Structure 1
């Protein structure tokens, strides 16, 4: 028979178990939830300022991807090497051979009848240009013209009803605004990347031309080799730039990409279509970006703008009354903070156009009406047919014909068609001489000859051939 003590022990064990269960529940299952209420500083990056609607990248991509083309070029380069055995027996052992080179890049169709914008460096020296559309159709492209100073070129393919990208307004772009880059990196066709406008009016000094015009849009949209000549578009699918360069220690994307603003592109395209050459308008000053040091040295009450270090004797600025020591602040009421912005504004105009230039003189603003001029100090429009009439160091030049190339066994050259007293005649060059190389660089056109001379300091070494097949060499100093 169970005793009273037995029942008391059972009761104690039951009470202890109940208490243990309660403690265990509170310890393991009923913890108090702690909520940290941080201020909402973060914002989802794919949403607009209003927070109401997401930014639709798909619309811009669909509107533009079919109008960005793959550009394939074929050219030849000369390689020179020495043969010591040949040199031992026969003297000069220098051997030159041509090697085929294939290049790739991107281009943007800008009209339904097949005009295409790309970079000058994409098609430079090309003997054959083939364009491949997003639907895999291929076309032989004709080079309408190119402009080394802006690194732009205009191509044309035959046909109609091509997809194209309309021009936008790069002046209206804001830092922080979303943009898309469309192109063919590493031959990966129809590639779209996104980023924001990181800065505007960047001058990188990367274009190989004495009269380069650089005012790049900087973005962080990923660009790689093959993107050159492709489209930079806004979220409405409008063209705002032509992708051109990256800054990278490795040659691949490193966070900084650069595009030529469409304001420059449109002017270059219009000039190449209408005149065959770009009409560059110059103010006729030696510009220097304003800074604190210049402001202090000359007691100028601003650190932004373009300081006039000098004025050209036959330039537009001097004719209008602008002086050395002035600070250019505006072009047609558009503020300019540095040389790149000044060049971008001037690039919209042609020689002979009148613009209002606002300067700071004695810390007071003055406005001048300036009639812009070309590099030669003239206001007339230059056409491609006039290029051959350009006198350089007393010589006039003309492009050579295919018949002359075939007869002499050369692929390129520029003929001296007329000589007046100057460096070319004093060097012994005679009329009819065809210049094939200058300072060991191929002379493929009159524009290329001018470019080589513009970028040369010191001496000029010329190789060429006369119509009778006699090879000759000349040299003179600059």
Structure 2
């Protein structure tokens, strides 16, 4: 145990936690949604709020409770489901500048404070970094700069709040992942995605213009195509004037390769259609009426939803 004479005490730790929360309180807001209830967010820049994308519905007018307790309407600037980041705009008020804490120094075992804002007031929790590793792709294909899991309890109302290092700096946004796991969308990802949302309202994603569905194929056809598993993706729809149609891909074709790699699932293809894929040309291995062929396709940017 630390020596109390060296200046360590539970009261010191307790006061430190409260001071960290006080320091971030002027940035924490409550997001009011029609169907999901409330969640948290934080002021990124004057008049601009970062929050969890799944907490904001595209077609609704959002209300925000500001740090001073006043409620204002917010408009949706942009959203990126693949990284779970949304950007809202409210009436601008004076706001001190801040710098995110980079996440690259975070290690398993480090202590982390989480903070959000409920209708009743501020919320806080103290947790530990359960996992800190390198970049990963979300189930929706977005690149998250670091995989950070926290051993801490987080409720829906606190989702979209912040994760703080022990110096009180914001190192990311807290969200709920699969099976209730608490994840941190790191500061590196927010700094990369939020400016794109501010400029364009969305993050560009690749587009093939094809509807795909998993299918098992004949073993002989799989062997002829050099596949370890007799699986592919059947084309169930082709968008009019889309990149797939331009490349002569037809309904009923079976996609078996992306360049030299097999395509085990629709999710796998979706993950390949990230922002970096736009403008690239790929060779798609196709089975058509038992015949193997290769078609070159240029990946377009996904059209903006109407």
TM-score range, shorter chain: 0.5 to 0.7
Q: Deviations over 1:420-458 (max 9, x none)?
A: xxxxxxxxxxxxxxxxxxxxxxxxx34xxxxxxxxxxxx
SS in structure 2 of the partner of residue 269 of structure 1: helix
**2:167 matched residue in structure 1:** 236
Distance between the aligned counterparts of 2:257 and 2:7, measured in 1?
54
Alignment partner, residue 136 of structure 1: 69
Q: Is the 8 A contact 1:66 1:163 kept in 2?
A: no
Q: For 1:267 and 1:277, locate their aligned partners in 2 and report how far apart those are by CA, in whole Å.
A: 12
Following superposition, the deviation at residue 52 of structure 1 comes to: 5.5
Cα distance change of structure 1 residues 226 and 163 upon mapping to structure 2, 3 Å threshold: farther
Q: Distance in 1 between matches of 2:95 and 2:106?
A: 27
Q: In 2, are the aligned partners of 1:168 and 1:238 still within 8 Å (CA)?
A: yes
3-state secondary structure, aligned to 2:277: coil
Counterpart CA distance in 1 for 2:72 and 2:139 is 30
Q: Contact between 1:67 and 1:165, CA under 8 Å: does it hold in 2?
A: no
Residues 278 and 301 in structure 2, CA contact (< 8 A), matched pair in contact too: no
Contact 2:108 2:129 in 1 (8 A): yes
Residue 128 of structure 2 is aligned with which of 178, 181, 196? 196
1:258 aligns with 2:183: yes
CA distance in 2, matches of 1:120, 1:201: 23
Structure 1 unmatched runs, 5+: 1-41, 75-100, 282-309, 314-322, 325-342, 344-349, 352-372, 379-389, 399-444, 447-478
Structure (1 or 2) with the larger CA radius of gyration: 1
Deviation of 1:125 after TM superposition, in Å, equals 3.4
- Structure 2 match to 1:183: 116
Q: CA deviation at 1:174?
A: 2.1
Q: 1:66 aligns with which of 26, 34, 38?
A: 26
* Superimposed CA distance per residue, residues 199-242 of structure 1 (whole angstroms, 9 cap, x where no aligned partner): 1248998x662x24454411123211211111111122211111
2:238 aligned partner: none
**After TM superposition, what 4+ stretches of structure 1 lie above 3 angstroms from structure 2?**
51-55, 162-166, 201-205, 212-216, 310-313
In structure 2, do the counterparts of structure 1 residues 224 and 165 end up closer, same or farther at CA, with 3 Å as the change threshold? farther
Q: How does 1:309-388 map to 2 (within 5 A)?
A: 312-313=258-259, 373-377=276-280
Question: How big is each residue's C-alpha offset from its partner over 1:96-137, in whole Å with a ceiling of 9 and x where there is no partner?
Answer: xxxxx35321111012x2211011100023411011012211
What residue is the counterpart of 2:102 in the other structure?
Answer: 169
Map of 1:278 onto structure 2 = 203
Taking a change above 3 Å as real, the CA distance of residues 203 and 244 of structure 1, as seen in their structure-2 partners, is farther
Q: How does 1:81-92 map to 2 (within 5 A)?
A: none
SS in 2 for 1:222: coil
Give 1:59 deviation, angstroms. 2.9
Q: Which residue of 2 aligns with 1:218?
A: 149
Whether 1:160 aligns to 2:85 is no
Asked if structure 2 preserves the Cα contact closer than 8 Å seen for 1:181 and 1:233, the reply is yes
Instruction: Provide the TM-score with structure 1 as the length reference.
Output: 0.41
CA distance 1:110–1:139, shift in 2 (3 Å): same
Partners of 1:212 and 1:237 lie apart in 2 by 28
State the aligned residue count: 223
